[in-house]
Amino acid sequence: MLPHMAAAYNLARWLTRQEQDASDVTQEAMVRAFTFFKGYHGGDARSWLLAIVRNTCYTWLRKNRSHEFTTSFDLDLHDAQDPAANPEQAALQNANQDVLRKALEDIPLEFREVLVLRELEGLSYQQICGVTDLPIGTVMSRLSRARTRLQRVLQPHEDGETKHDL
């Protein structure tokens, strides 16, 4: 499981939105993976571990932040380029990354998780289904909604405006 530790922490970090919480959840997930390793029957070890991390995150969030599970499904609510050679452009890129990170952290949990699994961890739709235990249609729908929300949040920043709400 050690080769997948970074992916496990990354998922926990995006779901909990706090580094310390992500560390705690990842540690708990690794203990659970070790405890239930006899139930692992081969296959995609990364997806198996990420499913445990996801479930551990949800258990932790229900216990510690139950308000995050009440989500509005209102739809109204980048591609990172190489660092620039000059400091001004590098600073602008860092600001854009901060805006993207904040926008991603602000979208609802069920959208954020599929977006992180697909775009940041590179999982296929089938692997995401395995991790989240959702039908492929739901995964595709949530991914589409997540991308739409993210695009709508980021659009004012591209136009040089500031939007304060989703």
3-state secondary structure of 2: helix
pLDDT at 21: 92
CA distance 154 to 166: 10
- Is 26's pLDDT higher than 60? yes
Q: Is the separation of the CB atoms in 29 and 20 below 8 Å?
A: no
- More confident site: 121 or 68: 121
- Domain 2-65: CATH architecture, name and number where available: Orthogonal Bundle (1.10)
Task: Name the band, by pLDDT with cuts 50, 70 and 90, for residue 69.
Answer: low
pLDDT at 105: 85
How many residues in the chain? 166
- Domain 87-158: CATH architecture, name and number where available: Orthogonal Bundle (1.10)
Supply the pTM of this predicted model.
0.59
Average pLDDT, the chain: 78
In sign, the C-alpha dihedral spanning 41, 42, 44, 50 is positive
The domain ranges of the chain are 2-65, 87-158
What is the tens place of the pLDDT at every residue in 126-150? 999 999 999 999 999 999 999 998 8
